[in-house]
Amino acid sequence: MKVVIWFSCGAASAVAAKLAVERYGNESCRVVNNPIAEEDEDNQRFLVDVEKWIGITIEKAINPEYQSTSAVEVWNRRKFMSGIGGAPCTLELKRKARQHWESQNEFDFLVLGFTSEEKDRAERFQKTERRNLVPILIEEGFTKRDCFLAVSEAGLTLPRVYQMGYPNANCIGCVKATSPTYWNLVRRNHPGVFAERAKQSRELGVKLARHKGSRIFLDELPEDARGNSIKTMSTECGLFCEEYTGKAINEQ
């Protein structure tokens, strides 16, 4: 049996990898990551720590059409940043990178970091992408919080973006986000990234934020605008890309 585990530098996929290796054994498992240039550099430190924890070297999967692994390059080349169906960066840098890897490697099952709160997403993935998905965290009853605790109890330090208030270890300035809470967090923590997203979205005519029920450009977003707590948002940027709006898109 050959099992591939897709690791996204987040807590959930780290625990999914650990459980899969324990279930199937080191010889049966391969762990693969899609490196993204816009992720915080501390993600790679966490990746190395996870390698030691699970006892397997984590491989890289890259879309050969985007050797830079840069979301900014994707948006520039596609002249598109985000929409109802998701974002082209996830399609090009994650889904197509996965498909390219799969075309060159044999495997029987794949594991993703869907937690027990994401049963519906896992089922949609099985219906639209791969029936051979093993939803190992759901089977073991792991919530996202359980994954944080498991990583902490193992003595690992999560990527520093979690400590900054972000709900996951995705790219900084995720263009699937519409919540004013999220974008003002980016503005405070990473003003340079906020400025870059504001400039590029203006150039491409993309209104990334939603405020008082309407889409607006980032440079129009008031600095005190807020929606729900950022902890309520679903922002995991995995291989199954969905628009990230949070629960506060119609607030304020």
The domain spanning residue 118 has which CATH number? 3.40.50.620
Are 74 and 66 contacting, i.e. CB atoms less than 8 angstroms apart?
yes
Residue 16 covered by a domain:
yes
Buried b (16+ CB within 10 A) or exposed e, 101-131: beeeeebebbbbbbbbebeebbeebeeebbe
**Is 249 part of any domain?**
no
Domains held by the chain: number: 1
Closest CA to 181 of 107, 109, 90, 246: 246
**Predicted pLDDT at 238:** 55
Position 167 scores a pLDDT of 83
Per-residue pLDDT at 84: 78
Which residues, given as ranges, of the chain have pLDDT below 50? 232-235, 240-252
Percent of residues, the chain, with pLDDT higher than 70: 90
State the pLDDT at residue 86. Answer: 84
Q: What is the 3-state secondary structure (H, E, C) of 184-238?
A: HHHHHHCHHHHHHHHHHHHHHCCCCEEECCEEECHHHCCCCCCCCCHHHCCCCCC
pLDDT value of position 85: 77
Specify if 82 maps to a domain: no
- Closest listed residue to residue 166, CA positions, set 195, 140, 187: 187
Has residue 176 been placed in a domain? no
Q: What is the predicted pLDDT for the residue at 168?
A: 84
Kindly report, residue by residue over 123-151, the tens digit of the pLDDT: 999 999 889 999 999 999 999 999 999 99
Q: Domain range spanning residue 103?
A: 3-70+88-162
111 is a domain residue: yes
State residue 152 phi and psi, 5-degree precision. -65, -45
Q: What is the Rg, in whole angstroms, of the alpha carbon atoms belonging to the chain? A: 18
Does any domain span residue 124?
Answer: yes
**Predicted pLDDT at 242:** 42
Whether residue 60 is contained in a domain is answered as yes
- Whether 46 is in a domain gets the answer yes
**pTM for the complete prediction?**
0.86
pLDDT at position 229: 67
